[in-house]
Amino acid sequence: MQYKWTVLANTTMGGLMASINATIILISLPSIFRGLNVNPLAPGNFTLLLWVLLGYMVVTASLLVTFGRLSDDYGRKRFYTIGFAIFAVASIALSFTPYNSGTNGVLFIIIFRLIQGVGGGFIMVNSTALLTDAFPDNERGKALGTNQVAFLAGSFIGLVAGGLLAPFDFHLIFIVNIPFAVLGAFWSYYKLKEEKTGGKKKGLDWKGNLALSSGLILVALGFTYALTPYKTNPLGWANPWVIASLIAGIFLIVIFIPIERKIKNPLFKLSLFRNIQFLFSSLALFLSALARGAVMFLVIIWLQGVYLPLHNFTIAQTPFWAGIYMIPLMVGFIALGPISGILTDRFGARVFSTVGLLITAVGLFLLTTFSANFSYIPFAIVLFVIGAGNGMFAAPNTKRAMDALPWKDRGVGNGIRTTFANIGQMISMAIFFTIAITVFSYALPSIITTQLTTLNVPSALSSQFAAIPASSFLFSAFLGINPVSTFLSQAPASLTSLISSSSLKIMNSSSFIPKLIASPFMQGLKTALYIGIIILIIAAILSAFTKHSVAKGADKVSSP
């Protein structure tokens, strides 16, 4: 096998593994939290849910540029292989998460997801650089397109695999990573070459590292706890600790820039941003991640927490069928991803990356036209359109960014752009959850009061039920848990005895909470979608206003 195809096969497997891992846990959260026996109504548990999702992204967003610099200095193959090894160890540990361990079990998962993030970071930052090194310019778009398709295809495979495996045993979603990680480590160690830059090692910028990583972690903490209730507020933006965390985090990120300008060997090579092609491609990637990062998670909640229960799917069935219903998204990406990469090699990247963003924006707009209980075929077509838009954007944008860089800067450059993408996803979760939960919180109490009054529930109980934080209702619906029984068991018997048996039957039914939250949830989702559309249009404008050129020094310096 020619070396370039070996690199493509290995990096494609690595991207597939990392992306399956990212989404398999998303679709499997109901099974995980039920297996750990976590109460969704307990204070703070919604925050744990967010950290299971965000922890991986926080690590990669905070450390990718550092990983890129280490790889440029000490060998991309070396740290790419180490990434597989770390990922394998963390996956093995996660497969031993104890049953019924409650919040301790969730914390165990969060810790080893953070370690997985270190391994995944080394894989992500080096796979694109290794691939770009191995292929000539006239074949690079096709190679990057194939790699990007595998990466996003893995995201959707993870949805289906998680839905299939998690209902049997949530440990299977961690075990499935282990063979890929072990094979990837041995394969890369024995078959990949260590390209040499021929230059001196620049060393790490510890001041820049500390400022950037600490700033991003503090911002992530602030955003996460802003999504949890504070006193009588449905969200925590008024929490002094949230405010302090965000201010301190933003301050550290701001002072990171003058630190980088003064230091001899900066972490963030700011001179790369003088290249408009690299700058605008990275900003377009950031905005694309910002627009779609949390939206797809909200769509998963829509399917698992509202749509499928309304169609009489059981709790055990919803993860699998949510994954199945998301398949058109994967098909759209797979259909357009390689084609876009091949056409980019022949006709250039600007048109395809710009049109891809606009197609995705059209898809998000079409999603706003659906009600909570929709007809599936039109919904599937819209998901296909969104996937096709993402597929058309991915390879051209990556090629433009990497072609803009000299060969010796590809590790740190790819670390920068991947950091942009991870920061975009992280902020997306905070922004769109805030929007959705804010709208949801203001609309839900009156709907609860009206519905319970119709069922002749005493007003004292109705007002207490309506006062439950909206995030708890959202969490419960997503996990397929009806909080009514928990609530009634804690309410005074003198009041619960006044509820008729027919009303109790309705309130304890699996469709009661989905029907209750459907309308306010859709209001919040549509607001988030409209903002996502605006962000994608801005990204398309940035993508359209840069020509595509190949940087001097884009070829390899030397090969072993």
Mean pLDDT value of segment 157-174 = 84
Contact 157, 25 (CB under 8 A): no
- Is pLDDT of 367 > 90? yes
Q: What are the extents of the domains in the chain?
A: 205-266, 441-516
Q: Which residues of 405-417 are buried (b: 16+ CB within 10 A; e: fewer)?
A: bbbbbbbbbbbbb
Mean pLDDT value of segment 242-268 = 85
Of the two residues 337 and 9, the one the predictor is more confident about is 9
Short-list 122, 11, 90, 23, CA closest to 425 = 23
- Is pLDDT of 195 > 70? no
pLDDT of residue 27: 78
Mean pLDDT value of segment 500-508 = 87
- Is pLDDT of 557 > 60? no
Mean pLDDT value of segment 209-217 = 82
pLDDT of residue 352: 86
pLDDT tens, 411-466?
A: 677 777 877 887 887 778 777 877 877 888 888 888 888 888 888 888 888 888 88
- Is pLDDT of 200 > 70? no
Tokens representing 13 are 């497997």
pLDDT tens, 378-405?
A: 999 999 999 899 888 887 888 888 777 7
> 70-74, 255-259, 355-359, 500-504 — which is least confidently predicted?
70-74
pTM: 0.78
Instruction: Give the span between the Cα atoms of 475 and 45, in whole angstroms.
Output: 9
pLDDT tens, 110-142?
A: 999 999 988 988 887 788 778 877 887 677 666
Mean pLDDT value of segment 335-345 = 77
Mean pLDDT value of segment 242-266 = 86
**DSSP category for residue 98:** P
- Is pLDDT of 560 > 50? no
- Is pLDDT of 317 > 70? yes
Mean pLDDT value of segment 523-536 = 90
Contact 60, 293 (CB under 8 A): no
Short-list 330, 317, 433, 325, CA closest to 30 = 317
